[in-house]
């Protein structure tokens, strides 16, 4: 555990990368959402009190998706850039993998708490005084803070760990590693879709939100395990 916490401290040296840039991306996404929704209000003549407006405005995944690409890239860098430094300081490969995963979990929790606080502010101000839905969206639980916390935490952790496994296989196998992982992932997904094709309509009708949580947990576990395995034979570059 002491080795893992040492890695956490090493990772969090880049505070701007972990804490400030994701907030900046969320801010930009929020400003873009405000501009777009105000434009829609003016173009359609709809107001926040119009029937169906709230449901339509909540179908806005911008905030959730805007930061995901950056989190994946940060996950890649947390392995590919920091592993050589950690190794030169005597950190074991297992300790580095555990510490990096813990870092991802801590930052994911931070982002979830920030989003929950912003949701509270959004609701308190009547959706920013002009009926703008940024955090109170369908993909984030439609105002349910528990769902928002779960989605933000698990979604961020999934993005980090998926990026990390790509960073790990790059260290282990070079440029062909990430390509191989991507090809395998596409083939597995295509195989699942083909196998489930006759039942897709029934699956969609029976869909429950918690299924996504199960898929997220499974992806995190597989990616974290893949990262740990790839680091065992990775060279220090």
What is the tens place of the pLDDT at every residue in 171-221?
888 878 778 878 887 888 787 777 766 776 766 677 677 777 888 899 999
Q: Which residue has the higher pLDDT, 232 or 11?
A: 11
Instruction: Determine what percent of the chain is predicted with pLDDT higher than 90.
Output: 46
Residue 221: the pLDDT is 93
Q: Whole-structure pTM over 0.85, yes or no?
A: yes
Q: Cα-flanking dihedrals φ and ψ of residue 74, to 5°?
A: -65, -35
Average pLDDT along the chain:
87
């Amino acid at each position: 555990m002491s080795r893992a916490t040492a890695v956490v401290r090493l990772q969090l040296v880049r505070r701007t990368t972990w804490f400030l840039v994701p907030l900046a991306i969320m801010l930009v996404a929020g400003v873009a959402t405000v501009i777009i929704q105000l434009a829609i209000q003016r173009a359609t003549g709809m107001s926040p009190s119009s029937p169906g407006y709230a449901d339509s405005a909540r179908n806005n995944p911008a905030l959730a998706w805007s930061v995901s690409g950056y989190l994946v890239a940060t996950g890649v860098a947390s392995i590919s850039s920091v592993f050589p430094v950690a190794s030169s300081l005597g950190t074991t490969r297992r300790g580095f993998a555990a510490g990096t995963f813990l870092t991802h979990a801590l930052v994911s929790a931070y982002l979830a708490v920030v989003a929950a606080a912003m949701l509270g502010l959004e609701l308190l101000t009547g959706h920013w005084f002009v009926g703008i839905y940024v955090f109170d969206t369908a993909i984030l639980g439609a105002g349910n803070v528990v769902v928002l916390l779960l989605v933000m935490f698990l979604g961020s952790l999934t993005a980090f760990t998926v990026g990390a496994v790509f960073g790990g296989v790059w260290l282990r196998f070079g440029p062909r590693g990430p390509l191989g992982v991507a090809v395998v992932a596409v083939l597995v997904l295509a195989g699942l879709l083909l196998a489930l094709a006759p039942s897709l309509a029934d699956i969609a009708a029976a869909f429950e939100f918690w299924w996504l949580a199960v898929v997220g947990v499974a992806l995190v576990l597989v990616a974290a395990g893949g990262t740990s395995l790839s680091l065992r034979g990775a060279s220090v570059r």
